[in-house]
Structure 1
Amino acid sequence: MLVIAALNLGIIAMVGALLHLVPHPRLGSPSAAFGVRTPPDRADDPVILEQRRRYGSVLLIVIPVISLLTALAGALLDSVAPASVGVAVLCLVAAALWARAHRAISQAKDTGRWYGHLRQGAVADTSLRTDPVRFPWLWTIPSALVVAVTALVGVVVYPNLPDTLQLPRRGVGETAYLDYPTTVWTAFGLVFGQVLLTALMVGVVVSALRARPDLDAAQPRGSAVRYRKYLAGTARALLAMATLLNLMLSGLSAVVWSGNHSGWLLAAIVGIPLAASLAVAAHLVLRVGGGGKASEAEAPTGLVRRDDDRHSAAAGLLYINADDPAVLVPSRVGRGWTVNLGNPRVLAGAAATLAAAGGAAALFVLM
């Protein structure tokens, strides 16, 4: 009971901490406050500072309340299901606060004509095509080894497995396990998940390396150097997180094969890799990410990033531009990239992915 309560509490605390840090300029783009494109000289505008204060102060009240309620519900129901409800409520509260801040900053920007006296421009780093940041293939080796070792162990123990395997029952209430016939699908389902996770993460890294860079029109050379550093660090961090998540799936596979459903064991198998992944993400943001200081040797161009608010939607969470050929563009929420929903290739890829996922789910049910 205490283990389940602690697990619920930990999940809410981690998600709450992430949501609390999202608007911080160190975590996101300094030229996009709450999804609104802003000039550099407005980074410390009173309206922006006030909205950050309100967002953070409300979450600091909501997070402990939801954490406590989720932990109590988890202890009473002996289930981690309340954590999913708590995360959903927390995300809804954060989204409402974000939308309010976005609206207030947008109104101040339009009223004050923040871009009225500025020269807007865009820059490109052609060396990212002629001399791109290389894919760190060596960082895929640990993840591949984890998958290979897990699969090998599964092949060895498979002949000695019982006729049925106990898998967790879905739903709210007391945690229970149902018996399923021992098949390749039930015994190696998490191993297949490891393969898909690794392939997905490799695809994300490849796409990120070819994404549109987030460059500063005022300091193009310095921002290009910092972006290369960030891009290389992001690629390594994502592959390291894939290894950690594969370790978690390996541990869960061992639980399925052994039938040991100890609460402390499950908490360690799930909690330690997730905490380590969060530490990797924090290192990426605090030590690798961020705009950094401008180069003193580079004279400012006198330009600022273009005001492209007309292409954003959902309080800056989405980017829609049918005239933009880019698939991935810099995100206005946190760091990283988001997809251009106006690009036909994105829509076709999304449709194909949904169709493949639906076919795989139907096949799994039939099997």
Structure 2
Amino acid sequence: MNVVLIIGAFDFGITAMVGAVLQFVPRSGLSSPSIAFGVRIPPDLNDDPVILRQRRRYGGTLLVITSVVSLLAGLAGALLDSAAPVGVGVAVLCFAAAALWARAHRAVSQAKDAGNWYGDLRQGVVTDTSLRTSPVRFPWWWTIPSALIIAVTALAGVVVYPDLPVTLNLPRYSLGETGYLEYPTTVWSAFGLVFGQVLLTVLTAGMVVLVLRARPELDPARPRESAARYRDYLGGTARAILGIATLLDLMLSGLSAAIWSGNRSGWLLVTIVGVPVAASLAVAAHLVLRVGGGRRRVSMADAEAPTGFVRRDDDRHAMAAGLFYVNADDPAVLVPSRVGGGWTVNLGNPRFLAGVAATLAAAGVAAGILALL
């Protein structure tokens, strides 16, 4: 009974946390103050009645949906004795948030066109060349915890491997239940999650490298202030990404230990997965609430009088309610995202398209080789 309650609480808690994160996505503190529901706007119109009304509609409707879906996910998890309902609940919340976002985007875009918001405003762009000559450094120290976790897990696996049974029970998740399948004990089946840790850490480090070289969102009205804020934001984001990777590596270590020991305890599985996932969401929430959008205060030395310029209206490159960015003339691969904050890829960049094609080709070749073995 206690395990059932724990699983139900897990489903309810994770679903509610995701809903809470989605609540803050359209807030101006997370993204640029010149973006409202994916629409580029003059910063002084961020509190326009149309925008405020859409924020209230988005937040209020999503709050009701989150409450209902979280409760249903918790009840389903307890009745089915499974953590699977949390996936369904999160998917429903994401779909609902996307629909509400699209409705608000359309309303703000129509108000912008009808009111000619940009009118005779002076539009401009600004760049900070010091981001190339003196870039924000990669926080190597933040990769040490992940490296230690992987090393300890691999060493533990090497120690227990000779005593493992001839088959291992690996979990198989499906809607409403968690089952187990038996696989022959090999290096791949026993150390699969360890290899996953290595891949996760490498990919995360690569993501941080790309983020540190992404095109910044700088304010032409206060270029020096926005550059200082962006550097602060960049450093905080890089550390948060590596911190989340550490938590996920810890989760994979726990799952490896459960597989090697043959422990199928439901509460243990929920703890191994739930604690790191909840901590990762907390780190993400801290990032968007405390660091979000690079809007922290800067020192008096960086303060400056406004130049009178506003960010350039570039809505023509934003697709799908601001979710995607397509601009073949923009050399940047990563560009500021219009949804919540952070960055998104430039789907029109030839280098990105070539990289995706090469990755898919390599994956196809690898799958073909494995199928022939």
Q: Sequence identity, in percent? A: 74
Residues 147-166 of structure 1 aligned to structure 2 (within 5 Å): 147-166=150-169
1:292 is matched with which residue: 292, 296, 302? 296
- Choose the corresponding residue for 1:59, options 62, 65, 71: 62
Q: Corresponding residue for 1:340?
A: 346
Conservation of the 8 A alpha-carbon contact between 1:219 and 1:294: no
Displacement, 1:357?
4.0
- Correspondence 1:86 to 2:89: yes
Structure 1 distance, partners of 2:255, 2:136, is 35
- The AA in structure 2 aligned to 1:332 is R
Letter of the structure 2 residue corresponding to residue 316 of structure 1: G
> Contact 2:51–2:108 at 8 Å: present in 1 too?
yes
1:252 to 242, 250, 255: 255
Q: Which of residues 327, 330, 336 is equivalent to 1:321?
A: 327
Which of residues 217, 220, 226 in structure 1 aligns to 2:220?
217
Contact 1:197–1:242 (8 Å) recurs in 2: yes
Q: Do the aligned residues in 2 keep the contact of 1:164 with 1:181 (CA within 8 Å)?
A: yes
> For 1:184, which of 187, 203, 227 is the aligned residue?
187
Which of the numbers 202, 205, 210 marks the counterpart of 1:207? 210
Which deviates more, 168-177 or 187-196?
Answer: 168-177
Mapped to 2, the partners of 1:43 and 1:31 lie a distance apart of 7
1:93 CA displacement? 0.9
Alpha-carbon shift at residue 263 of structure 1 (Å): 1.6
Does 2:109 match 1:103? no
Equivalence for 1:10: 13
After superposition, what is the alpha-carbon deviation per residue over 1:224-250, rounded to whole angstroms, capped at 9, x for unaligned?
001011111111111111111100100
Instruction: Identify the range of structure 1 (279-288 vs 89-98) with the bigger mean alpha-carbon deviation.
Output: 279-288
Asked if the contact 1:219/1:295 (under 8 Å) is kept, the reply is no
- What's the CA shift string for 1:296-343, capped at 9, x where partnerless? 741211100000000000000000001111101111111211000000
Q: Would the alpha carbon gap of residues 295 and 119 (structure 1) be closer, same or farther in structure 2, given more than 3 Å must change? A: farther
Look up the match of 1:132: 135
Supply the AA of the counterpart residue of 2:290: R
- How far residue 295 of structure 1 moved from its aligned partner, in angstroms, is 7.0
Structure 1: tracts of 5 or more residues without a match? none
**Amino acid paired to 1:34:** F
* TM-score, length basis structure 2: 0.94
1:282 aligns with 2:307: no
Structure 2 contact 21–285 (Cα < 8 Å) conserved: no
Counterpart Cα distance in 1 of 2:361 and 2:21: 32
Aligned residue in 2 for 1:230: 233
Report the residue type matching 2:114 in the other structure. Answer: T
- Which segment drifts farther, 306-315 or 163-172? 163-172
Match of 2:315 among 296, 300, 309: 309
Residues 248 and 276 in structure 2, CA contact (< 8 A), matched pair in contact too:
yes
**Are 1:143 and 1:246, in contact at CA under 8 Å, matched by a contact in 2?**
yes
Q: Hey, what's the Cα distance between the residues in 1 that align with 2:180 and 2:356?
A: 34
Letter in 2 for 1:299: A
- Shift of residue 5 of structure 1? 1.6
In structure 1, C-alpha distance between the alignment counterparts of 2:136 and 2:298, rounded to whole Å: 21
CA displacement at 1:175 relative to structure 2: 2.1
Q: Aligned to 1:170, what secondary structure does the other structure show?
A: strand
CA distance in 2, matches of 1:100, 1:85: 23
Superposed CA deviations along residues 139-176 of structure 1, whole A, max 9, x for unmatched, are 11111111111111111111110111111123223322
Residue matched to 1:196: 199
Does structure 1 conserve the Cα–Cα contact (< 8 Å) formed by 2:11 and 2:77? yes
